[in-house]
Structure 1
């Protein structure tokens, strides 16, 4: 990701409604300044930005990373872009010597396709924290061993 990608990524974030795109600038600030070497921000283009992923190391661990964001523009979903993006994330992490990639998502019914996506891509259901996000909305945690 470069600063030039931000306008298109904001459009993508708005289209997916994952979080307010106004938060994006602050999220990427350290990465774009070069101060956060172990964070990974990837943009998938075709020819415009159709997907984005953000991965960061888990503090106080040896080689454990968290996939904190993966999004594909709704018009491009179901065409393999998410699978391509997550495979590239995994490859980059392997190059860094990462051992484990964790993913957290919602347990709500509306996230069923998201949970199936992770299972389809080789992630194991590691745990569930009931009512984490709010009453009735569990945190579902997936894990993939990279080594």
Structure 2
């Protein structure tokens, strides 16, 4: 089941991020993002939880500032031991359908160009995203930022 994230999901979603390799600093930032989201109340941004008896996946999407209906998928993750079984694709499809219902025109996502992110890049390609840009040495020397995009609604 995919549903909107609630404050009660926070610890489980932090645990999901930990299984996919988030470092302590990144986990702290994720906690702050979730806390701020629940404090701020209703915003255009949204968090989704993929649940199977407990939260096992998460997605976070927000509108790109100063654009017309362009959205950025800042986080999508499935607990590491459950990857490769279609859950991530279902979660991504749910994000896309949510955005289409809101009039979303384009979805962008970025990831690292390091070899250990090849599986992530292949995931986006599998679901119709195209590599749009590469910023060399963005995250660190030798670690490029790769931006993917997918048109949702050409109108």
* Shorter-normalised TM range: over 0.9
TM-score w.r.t. structure 2 length? 0.90
Structure 2 Cα separation of the partners of residues 125 and 12 of structure 1: 26
What is the CA distance between 1:10 and its match in structure 2? 1.3
Report Cα offsets for 1:67-92 as digits up to 9, x if no partner. 00011101100010100110000011
* Residue range with higher mean Cα deviation, 23-32 or 106-115: 23-32
Structure 1 Cα separation of the partners of residues 34 and 14 of structure 2: 12
1:134 has 2:140 as partner: yes
Instruction: Give structure 1 regions of 4+ aligned residues with deviation exceeding 6 angstroms.
Output: none
Q: Is the 8 A contact 1:103 1:143 kept in 2?
A: yes
Of the three residues 106, 112, 116, the one matched with 1:100 is 106
Structure 1 Cα separation of the partners of residues 97 and 42 of structure 2: 19
The aligned length equals 147
Structure 2 Cα separation of the partners of residues 135 and 34 of structure 1: 36
Match of 1:13 in 2: 17
Gaps of at least 5 residues in structure 1 are none
Match of 2:64 in 1: 58
Match of 1:4 in 2: 8
What is the CA distance between 1:50 and its match in structure 2? 1.1
Gaps of at least 5 residues in structure 2 are none
What aligned pairs does 1:63-102 form with structure 2 within 5 A after superposition? Answer: 63-102=69-108
SS in structure 2 at match of 1:101: strand
Match of 1:38 in 2: 44
Structure 1 Cα separation of the partners of residues 101 and 37 of structure 2: 18
TM-score w.r.t. structure 1 length? 0.95
Closer, same or farther: CA 43–19 of 1 in aligned 2, 3 Å: farther
Structure 2 Cα separation of the partners of residues 111 and 75 of structure 1: 17
What is the CA distance between 1:34 and its match in structure 2? 4.8
